[in-house]
Structure 1
């Protein structure tokens, strides 16, 4: 199998003059980008890095981040990207855990990096404008040179750190072959053609961002960098760069549609929509279908550990369904209390979703975390920690996390089903449901609602009573908030809602 460096050379050899990378006013063809990648590869060697070493980056989605990723693939260096919003202790942990001796960063995270250096010194390379400790990027990686493949398909390509809700982040090492197979599957399952153009806004420390970067190189495509998500800039990029597909988390789609400029933006070049990272509620699905009229609308369900679990290529036709196993995957839903991978849940019975570790896209275990492996890897299967069920047609529905399950009066209640119902109310902009402690019921169902029109708790309760939602799942309380707390990639942070870490609505509308 080809390694990723040779994979990039395929596009360089097929289409050297095709536009490969855009970052603001900067535009590079594959031929030009290859020369920059080669210069970075040469610079990494000069820094003393060799095949198998880790390189930590703390960067936004910019040209240097994408170039650095590819240079590491040629050099056999393990790219180890971190969230640019990471706290000093997180950077320190990841430096120690990976053994990385070089860190590349930019101004936006300079304070956190500076503090981390006091606990774990490393050679620093500073990217972009402003002042920062270390050697400027241009001094380390300037000039031009053709990249030289020095890795094999069996070598490590990447180590992503999972955010996790408790404990230190876990490193997920992935080999070239798994990364390449995952990118190939992404191309096939989203029906990409040669010359695709995507909005590179999903961060390159997240599997969605990495998958977009690699998939585009497989089809001689163009990756349009967007350092931070800004709806106005994203809409301008879609129109100016003639973006052909979007692969985003639901929150970013919501923000695109909510922006005043959306109605006047030409989005007709966008023919495919894909989403992952969180469920998309029915109301947003319908609005996106109407706004884009896409040829393909894919709900993609996966993780850093095994990129694709399942996909639904008709997200609007069967709302909420994550479809069926991807082309490289086997899935099961096992009983929540089950101890064996053979303890299958019945159709429509909620259980834990597990995936076969023989998948060509799978990792092989967490880095330096045997206790995490013992918890998640059993009998050759990966226990995802996600809950879901398979319907009578054989389609998978993901209902949340095992840790998010609300147990009220002895009943297991999934937040996602309730959120989908409430999302269709015309006054609801966003909604998240969590279980709060209750002396009588153990937990009570509480809905946190961001309103776009005036509505009362009684109005929402009456709406739920007339829906298909069974009575014991109805929220017993509604809390109106200005924002739903989310992670940097748009996942709802229910733990913050449970802990009371949210902002109540500052200027409550008069309820109706």
Structure 2
């Protein structure tokens, strides 16, 4: 059941089915064509001296060449190392130095950043696109290699990919994932999201994230699905693709759903083919949640939680009757989770239902990583007695469901009381004139910290009106309401859609 085999089975099962379609330029590859290109690239990599276990860094958008590169590395036993293609030059340098690859592929989106540090990168580089820079070999040169299947034996504990954490609390950490984990991740995800043979999905979630890579791409290519990739997200194109390609499932960040729902196309095309919806990466507001259900009328909608270290952590329960976008399920298939007291390193120190704690995950699971790349101290800090401490604040409901309330480090302590930013944000986002909201703590002599809210308005709401809105809410204790409001044009978010609170904290000091 390893990915190299399940991909080959898809080729044999549906050789003429479209495997990849590029929504930005309309190009397509059948399964047979994808296999041939992957074979050629795998051979070219071996001809250039790369052996199983060597690493290939990939700084590319979601495009067919990225997919071909990933499949080729897996067939050749080489480790794919995809990372954020929108990194600044210093970020590109860091990832290359940290991962120490044998080859580095990049495209026009990352070209400027790569060019800035090209003299500092002592690794052969390959450019995907027209007019390759002088310091890089054109990707087209790899197309002439033999299309023979690589003669490589792949085993369960062989390395598959190395992904990187988002780096919101320090330098990004490399997270090696073996072949067993790559396979287990797409299988567990597909079970939870009700995916089966020949699904068609839009690939907006980036391929340097485990959701985009394992949850979507690997699952589709293992079950004869069609992957509709987008190098540049355009909500109008995405919505029209639903009708054009018969999209059956969507898994996106909440901001992507919001953008799609706001297009004119959403009222003009037939979207009835979509029967399964999942969202992850950031909380979905109640208003976007209700609009998503009303517009798509799916058979199943779920809030998904996972980490790069352990993907598919919690079960994907259908929220159509529950009508609460913050809720997810208990531990997923093949996983064990607990909610323990904050700042406790004892996995047995669990808290009662309804009490805020930290979510921890048993690493004795095929989807779990074994430790961070070249960072034994970070591994020791994150794993205690075989349990990964996720850093995510959570509470368990009486129905044995899990609600992720934010990051433990984001907790605001005001007057000795713990306040999680998301519980304040959830109330603000229910106001009809609030488009987005982000909450942080700010030092205060009397209270220790006060709650400061950054609000993107969609109407003419005032600070006084928002304060009264919070006072009137049955879901927010009075001590948790914001004491200051800052009205902004937009909130800083990372590629997963999560608020970059450290940037808001800096602005709160201004």
- TM-score normalized with structure 1 length: 0.95
- After the TM superposition, which of the residue ranges 215-224 and 158-167 deviates more from structure 2? 158-167
Give yes or no for the alignment of 1:411 onto 2:417: yes
Mapped partners of 1:496, 1:256: distance in 2: 27
Counterpart of 2:75? 74
Give yes or no for the alignment of 1:48 onto 2:25: no
- Alignment check: 8 A CA contact 1:285 1:316 kept: no
Shift in Å at residue 87 of structure 1?
2.1
Shift in Å at residue 149 of structure 1?
5.8
Counterpart of 1:510? none
- Alignment check: 8 A CA contact 1:36 1:144 kept: no
Mapped partners of 1:448, 1:50: distance in 2: 50
Runs of at least 5 residues in structure 1 that lack an aligned partner in the other structure: 505-512
Counterpart of 1:476? 483
Mapped partners of 1:226, 1:76: distance in 2: 27
Give yes or no for the alignment of 1:163 onto 2:170: no
Counterpart of 2:282? 278
Mapped partners of 1:262, 1:438: distance in 2: 46
Alignment partner of 1:173 out of 164, 172, 176: 176
Shift in Å at residue 3 of structure 1?
2.6
Shift in Å at residue 102 of structure 1?
0.8
> What is the Cα-based RMSD across aligned positions, in Å?
1.6
- TM-score normalized with structure 2 length: 0.95
Mapped partners of 2:351, 2:151: distance in 1: 47
Mapped partners of 1:177, 1:140: distance in 2: 29
Shift in Å at residue 146 of structure 1?
4.1
Specify the SS of the correspondent of 2:495. Answer: coil
- After the TM superposition, which of the residue ranges 94-103 and 367-376 deviates more from structure 2? 94-103
- Alignment check: 8 A CA contact 1:20 1:33 kept: yes
Q: How many residues align?
A: 502
Equivalent residue runs for 1:64-143 within 5 Å: 64-132=65-133, 133-142=135-144
Give yes or no for the alignment of 1:16 onto 2:15: yes
- Alignment check: 8 A CA contact 1:95 1:101 kept: no
- Segments ≥4 residues shifted beyond 3 Å: 141-144
Mapped partners of 1:48, 1:285: distance in 2: 50
Alignment partner of 1:495 out of 494, 498, 502: 502
Give yes or no for the alignment of 1:264 onto 2:288: no
Mapped partners of 1:129, 1:169: distance in 2: 31
Shift in Å at residue 143 of structure 1?
5.6
Specify the SS of the correspondent of 1:160. Answer: strand
Counterpart of 1:253? 257
- Alignment check: 8 A CA contact 2:39 2:149 kept: yes
Deviations 1:448-502 (A, max 9, x none): 1111111111111111111111111111122111111111221111111111189
Mapped partners of 1:343, 1:16: distance in 2: 53
Counterpart of 1:325? 331
> Residues 100 and 143 from structure 1, CA distance in 2 versus in 1: closer, same or farther, beyond 3 angstroms?
closer
Equivalent residue runs for 1:439-454 within 5 Å: 439-454=445-460
Specify the SS of the correspondent of 1:437. Answer: strand
